[in-house]
Each structure stands twice: as C-alpha cells, then as structure tokens.
Structure 1
C-alpha cells in the first residue's frame, strides 16, 4: 500500500527506527494514548502507571531487567490502564506498554514507509524473543513488561515473524524457504519430474 492510496489526513510525517532501520513514519494527530495522558492533567494516569510497574531491584541491572506490570491485564495478556472518560463512571483501557512508550518517546507511529510501501506499525516486546523458555501467546509474561528498552517499533509483518505462535512459526518457515530459493536459484513451486 502506498501513502497516496490511503487518506493520511490526520497524520503528521516524521522519522523513526522501524524494523531497526530509519524510516518515514506517519504519526496520528489524535492518538488515544496521547489523548488519555493529556486528559489526566493532574498526573493520576502516570502515577497509576508508576505504582503498577515493578522493577526487579534485586537484578544485577534493574534498568535492564523486565519491569513487570502489577495491574489488570486484557484478554491478550497485556497490561492495561483504566482511563476515566469525561462521562461520569465511564472508562476506556489503554495498553500499559503504550503508556510507557508514549511517556518516553511521544505518540506511537501508526504507519511506516518501508521499501516504498506503507506498513502498519506496532510495538514488539523484544524480551520475549530473547527468552527461549517463553511459551509465547497469551501466556507470555513479557507482554506485561513496561521497560521501553525491551520494545521495538516494527511492522506488523515483522511482529508476526518474530512471534512464537502458529502464525510466527509459519511465517518463519516461509521466510526460510524464500531465503533458500534466493541462495540456490531454485524456482517455486518446484517442478515435478
């Protein structure tokens, strides 16, 4: 998808590191996480995030370890922060890791221009990929990590390829086969003889 194929009104153009390469990104002007942080003028949201984030102070380097979320989780296993809406008694949920990234770096880009095409951008918990014992999926304890040093901005496709679930395994197989074909000059699908 190219930038002119979708309406990018409501976005500002910037640059960021996506898939570990500097890319042109498109940042929404009206992002729910940023709006939530701005709407809680007295700092309650940030205070709540700080209270629910637990650093392992016994770790050799607490700043390099995972910072575990102690608050509520959504059905996918990610930490969530309840943000009051203007309507009395109504709340909406914001991903706690999105709050952490927004506090540290600002609004999260929604799109990135990679190889001349637009790709959806997501936050990936890198610490999960480094832990061979992590089962992945909804039981992944790294989804609760709040350390922005353990997060990367990646395309949605790269996030799937890095995943430990069924889709990640299939994507890894397809990528490995493509690399083998490229190196060996093989055609795909192979011709039957």
Structure 2
C-alpha cells in the first residue's frame, strides 16, 4: 500500500518498536476509539479494567504469567471493555481489553507504520501464545484473554498472521519470507 493511498492527516507521527525494529508510526488523533481511550484518566474505565483482571494482577497464571481477562469476551475470545464515546454516555461501544491495557501503559496504539517505504497496518500481538507449544491458536487460544503488557507486542498485521498457527499462518510465513527476499534483491531493505 502506497503512502499516498491513505490519508494520514488525522494522525500524528511518532516512533515505536514494530516487529522488533524502531520505525516511524502514525497514531490516530481523532477517531472514536482514540477519543474514548484518551479519557483513560477517567477512574471508572481504569477501575473496570482492574476489576476485569484483578485476580491475575495479584496472582498471574503460574504456567504462562498471563493476566487473564475475567470480563466479557467477543466471539474470537478477546476480552471486551465497554467505553463511552465522548463526554456523554449516550453512545457506548466496546474495545479490546488488551488495547486498554496497552493504552494505560504506552498511550494510544499506533495505526500505521512506515517500513521500507510502505505503510503497514499495525495490531497488538499476544506474544505469550507463540511461546506456548500446547496452544492450538484460533478462537480457542487462551492467550487472547491476556492483559499483561509485557506479553503484548506491536506488529504489522502481516507479521501477526504469519505468527499464527495453522494453514493460514504457514502460508503467510512463506509469502512474507518471499517478500523480504525480493525486497533485499531490489535493494529496498537490509
């Protein structure tokens, strides 16, 4: 995706570690999720996040050191926290609880990263899943409930899919390796 195809005027430029490398990232300034999470100083949101994880903040899972979310889950197994949009409570929507955890620790999650002259969509990866050989991945992955910020990593969407388990992850790993090799041949990356 070329940078000219995406309007970055609603983002501020910053730097972050993405896929293990320091790179330029773009953080959204004015979207509903950002506005809601900017109100993280609102004690009720912070209190609700703590209540959803408080058992594991005190005693993490002994096998994985994960802080598991004990609140509601979406259909894919990720923790959800309900957030009001703006100042009034007339509209409410849900955000991934791990996104709230990241925001509390690091600030708003960047949306895009500029890597090798191309913009890449960013997501948070639960790195604890990749370290657990017994985890089958997918919607049954127990690590999707993890709120431990030390287990979360900012990665490109392509990297996240490539790290996945199953046929889709294996295919994505092959495509990513081929793409990296081709970029090196063209002198576009190290």
Normalised by the length of structure 1, the TM-score is: 0.82
Distance 1:56 1:6 in 2: 39
CA contact (8 A) 1:34 1:102 kept: no
What residue number does 2:185 align with? none
Counterpart secondary structure, 2:51: helix
- Give yes or no for the alignment of 1:17 onto 2:17: yes
What residue number does 1:73 align with? 73
* Shift in Å, 1:166: 2.7
**Larger-gyration structure (1/2):** 1
* Shift in Å, 1:55: 1.7
Q: Which moved more, 1:64-73 or 1:165-174?
A: 165-174
Distance 1:141 1:23 in 2: 30
Q: Which moved more, 1:31-40 or 1:108-117?
A: 31-40
What residue number does 2:150 align with? 149
* Shift in Å, 1:3: 2.1
Distance 2:134 2:151 in 1: 17
CA contact (8 A) 1:33 1:98 kept: no
* Shift in Å, 1:58: 5.0
CA contact (8 A) 1:123 1:153 kept: yes
Distance 2:114 2:127 in 1: 22
In terms of fraction of residues, the more helix-rich structure is 2
CA contact (8 A) 2:28 2:34 kept: no
What residue number does 2:96 align with? 95
* Shift in Å, 1:2: 2.8
Counterpart secondary structure, 1:55: helix
Normalised by the length of structure 2, the TM-score is: 0.83
Distance 1:21 1:42, change over 3 A: closer
Distance 2:61 2:7 in 1: 48
CA contact (8 A) 1:124 1:159 kept: yes
Q: How many residues align?
A: 178
Per-residue CA deviations over 1:64-104 (Å, capped at 9, x if unaligned) read: 8100000000011100001234354x421011000000010
5+ long unaligned stretches in structure 1: 183-193
What residue number does 2:138 align with? 137
What residue number does 1:30 align with? 30
